[in-house]
Chain A
Amino acid sequence: MHPPAAAIRLEDVRLTLASAAGPVNILAGVSLEIASGETVALLGPSGSGKSSLLMVAAGLEAPTSGRISVSGTDLTKLGEDALARFRRGAIGIVFQSFHLIPTMTALENVAVPLELSGARDAFARARAELDAVGLGPRVDHYPGQLSGGEQQRVALARAIAPRPAVLFADEPTGNLDGQTGADVADLLFALHERAKTTLFLVTHEETLARRCARIVRLKDGRIVADERSA
Chain B
Amino acid sequence: MNRIALAVRMARRELRGGLAGFRIFFACLVLGVAAIAGVGSVAQALLTGLADQGRVLLGGDVAVHLVHRETTANEHAFLAARGRVSETISMRAMAYALKNGAEADRQLIELKAVDGAYPLYGAVSLAPQISLRDAFACAADGGRMVCGAVVEQTLLDRLHLSRGGLMRIGSQDFRIAAVLANEPDRISGGFTLGPHVLMSDTGLARTGLVVLGSLIEYSYRVAMPANASIAEFKAEAQATFPDSGWEIADRNDAAPGIRKFVEQVTMFLTLVGLTALAVGGVGAGQAVGAFLDRKRAEIATLKSLGAEGGLIFLVYFFQVMAIAVVAVIVGLMCGAALPFGVEAAFGNELPIKAAFAIYAGPLVLGGIFGLFSAAAFAIPPLARAREIAPASLFRDIVAPVNARGRLSYLLASAGAALVVIALALVLAPSLSFAAYFLAGVAAALIVLRLAAEILRRVLMALPRPRQPNLRLALANLTRPGAATSSVVVALGLGLTLLATVTLLDRTISVQVKDSLPGTAPTFFFIDIQPDEIAAFDKDIAHFPTVSGYKSSPMIRGRIVALNGIAAKDAKVASDARWALNGDRGITYASVAPKDANIVEGKWWDANYRGPTLISFDADLAKGMGLKLGDSVALNVLGREIVGRIANLRDVDFSNGRQNFILILSPGIIDKAPHSFLASVRVESRDEEPLYRAITDKYPNVSTVRVKDAIAQVNGLLQELSDGVRAASLITILAGLFVLAGAIAAGQRARLYDSTVLKVLGATRAQIATVYAIEYGVIGVLTGLLALGAGTLAAWLVTRHVFEVPLTFDLRAVLLIVVGGGAATLSFGLVAAWAALAAKPAGLLRSP
Contact = CB atoms under 8 A, between A and B. Distances in A.
Interface of A: 17-18, 51-52, 55, 58, 60-61, 80-81, 84-89, 93, 95, 97, 99-104, 108, 112-113, 115-118, 158, 170
B301 A99 contact: yes
A81 B309 contact: yes
Which 4 A-B pairs give the minimum distances between C-beta atoms? A88-B306, A61-B391, A81-B308, A103-B17
Contact of A60 (B308, B390, B399): B390
A22 to B, nearest CB: 13
Nearest to A162: B306
A51 B394 CA distance: 7
B16 A103 contact: yes
A96 B303 CA distance: 17
Nearest to B12: A103
A17 B6 contact: no
A101 B302 contact: yes
Contact of A103 (B15, B306, B307): B15
A208 B309 CA distance: 35
B2 A84 contact: no
A117 B308 CA distance: 11
Given A102-B17, A112-B10, A118-B2, A84 B391 contact: no
Given A103-B13, A112-B305, 5 more contacts: A60-B304, A81-B310, A100-B301, A103-B16, A116-B305
Contacts of B394: 51-52, 55, 60, 170
A95 B393 contact: yes
A84 B10 CA distance: 17
B389 interface: yes
B19 to A, nearest CB: 12
Nearest to B298: A101
Contacts of A112: 10, 302, 305, 307
B391 A117 contact: no
A99 B16 contact: no
Contacts of A158: 305
Contacts of B304: 58, 60, 87, 93, 99
A61 B389 contact: yes
Contact of B391 (A55, A104, A108, A115): A55
B799 interface: no
B399 A17 contact: yes
B14 interface: yes
Contacts of A117: 306
Contacts of B307: 84, 112, 116
B345 to A, nearest CB: 44
B498 to A, nearest CB: 41
Nearest to A168: B304
B297 interface: yes
Nearest to B308: A81
A134 B305 CA distance: 22
Contacts of A17: 399
A92 to B, nearest CB: 9
B6 A101 contact: no
B301 A115 contact: no
A218 to B, nearest CB: 15
B9 interface: yes
B425 to A, nearest CB: 38
Contact of A115 (B6, B297, B389): B6
B301 A84 contact: no
Given A84-B308, A112-B305, A18 B399 contact: yes
Contacts of B399: 17-18
B393 A99 contact: yes
Nearest to A86: B306
Nearest to A59: B390
Interface in B202-231: none
Contacts of B310: 81
A102 B450 CA distance: 39
A179 B393 CA distance: 26
Interface in B303-320: 303-311
Nearest to A56: B391
A85 B306 contact: yes
Contact of B6 (A86, A104, A116, A170): A116
B301 A87 contact: no
B309 A80 contact: yes
Contacts of B306: 84-89, 113, 116-117
B346 to A, nearest CB: 47
Nearest to B310: A81
Contacts of B2: 118
A100 B298 CA distance: 8
A108 B15 CA distance: 14
A98 to B, nearest CB: 9
Contacts of A95: 301, 393
Nearest to A104: B13
Contacts of B300: 99
A164 to B, nearest CB: 10
A189 B389 CA distance: 29
A84 B391 CA distance: 12
Nearest to B311: A116
B9 A115 contact: yes
10 contacts: A61-B390, A81-B310, A88-B305, A95-B301, A99-B301, A99-B393, A101-B301, A103-B15, A112-B10, A112-B307
Contacts of A104: 13-14, 16
A103 B17 CA distance: 5
Nearest to A142: B16
B9 to A, nearest CB: 7
Contact of B297 (A61, A86, A99, A116): A99
A207 B504 CA distance: 80
Contacts of B16: 103-104
A101 B13 CA distance: 10
Nearest to B399: A18
A187 B23 CA distance: 43
Contacts of B309: 80-81, 84
A117 B306 CA distance: 8
A17 B392 CA distance: 13
A116 B303 CA distance: 10
Contacts of B13: 101, 103-104, 108
Contacts of B389: 60-61
A103 B301 CA distance: 13
A55 B398 CA distance: 13
Interface string B1-39: 010001001100111110000000000000000000000
A61 B393 CA distance: 11
Contacts of A113: 305-306
B74 to A, nearest CB: 83
B405 to A, nearest CB: 13
Contact of B305 (A55, A81, A87, A97): A87
A192 to B, nearest CB: 19
A41 B590 CA distance: 112
Contacts of B15: 103
Contacts of A93: 304-305
A60 to B, nearest CB: 4
A112 B306 CA distance: 9
B65 to A, nearest CB: 70
A147 to B, nearest CB: 16
A102 B298 CA distance: 8
B118 to A, nearest CB: 72
Nearest to A113: B305
A114 to B, nearest CB: 10
Contacts of B10: 112, 115
Nearest to A17: B399
B303 A84 contact: yes
Interface string B603-643: 00000000000000000000000000000000000000000
B13 to A, nearest CB: 5
B397 to A, nearest CB: 9
Nearest to A105: B13
Contacts of B9: 115
Nearest to A115: B6
A44 B641 CA distance: 106
A52 B2 CA distance: 34
